[in-house]
Amino acid sequence: MKVGGPPDDKDWEKVTVFLPFLEIFYKATLSFSRLRYVTGNNFVEEIFDIGYTINRYLAELNLGLRSIASQIKMKFDKYWANVNNVNVLMFITLVLDSRHKLRYVEWIVRRSYDPNNSFVLCQRIKDTLTSLFDFNAYSQPSAPQMKSLSMDDVGHGDGGIRKLKGTNLRKDFVTEIELFDTSETTELEKYLRG
C-alpha cells in the first residue's frame, strides 16, 4: 500500500498468507521445466491441480487472498474454461501413461467442468484416441503382440506415483472410482480399461 520504505507487519502477514498459494505455481514450473524427464503426461494434472487450488482459495475467509484468487481465476478460465479451445492431445498423453488411462482423464474432466462441457470434452478425447488408433492400426503392417507391463514388472522406486501439492488427484480418483473392468471389445478399449 505504501510507496516507499521497508515492509511493515501487515505486509509480511499478507506475504505469509499468499506464499502457499504461490508455491503451487513454483512447483508446477519446476515440473514442466525438467530437462531429463518427459513431462507431457504431468501437464494436465498440474494445470487442473492449480485450478482446484484456485477454487479452494475462492472460499477463503481472508478477503485479500480471495480477491487475488478471483483475479487469477479469471485468467485461468480465459485459457481453460472453454472446452472447445482445449487441446485434447494433452489429455491423450495422460491416457497413454499406463498408470492413468481413460477413466482417470474422464474423472478429471468431470470434476473440472459442468456436465454438458465435460461430456463434450470426454467425447472429443475418445474420438481423437479412436482416430489415432485407427490411423496407426491401418497404416502400419501388423506387428507381433507385446506383453503389457504391470506395476510389479516396472518396480516402484522414485519413478512411481508422485505426490501433488494441493488436491492429490490420483488419490482422490482411486477413492471415488471403482476399479473393476467392464466388457472389452477392441485392443484400444482393452488398453484404456486395463
Contact, 170 vs 161, CB < 8 A?
Answer: yes
Distance, CA of 25 to CA of 125 (rounded, Å): 26
* Residue 137 confidence (pLDDT): 79
* Residue 141 confidence (pLDDT): 63
For residue 59, the Cα-to-chain-centroid distance in whole angstroms is: 22
Does 35 score more than 70 pLDDT?
A: no
Contacts of 76 (CB under 8 A, 6+ apart): 50, 51, 54
HSE on the CB side for 108, CA within 13 Å?
28
Residue 150 lies in a domain: no
* Residue 180 confidence (pLDDT): 45
Between 16 and 76, whose confidence is greater?
Answer: 76
What's the mean pLDDT in 123-139?
88
Residue 153 lies in a domain: no
Does 116 score more than 90 pLDDT?
A: yes
Residue 111 lies in a domain: yes
Tell me the angle at which helices 115-139 and 89-96 cross, rounded to the nearest 10 degrees: 70
Residue 21 lies in a domain: yes
* Residue 152 confidence (pLDDT): 45
What's the mean pLDDT in 45-62?
85
Residue 1's pLDDT band (cuts 50, 70, 90): low
Number of structural domains in the chain: 1
Distance, CA of 21 to CA of 70 (rounded, Å): 13
Contact, 186 vs 136, CB < 8 A?
Answer: no
Residue 106 lies in a domain: yes
Q: Is 114 exposed, middle or buried (0-12, 13-18, 19+ CB in 10 A)?
A: exposed
Residue 100 lies in a domain: yes
Does 61 score more than 80 pLDDT?
A: no
Residue 158 lies in a domain: no
Does 171 score more than 90 pLDDT?
A: no
Domain boundaries, position 40: 9-136+163-177+185-193
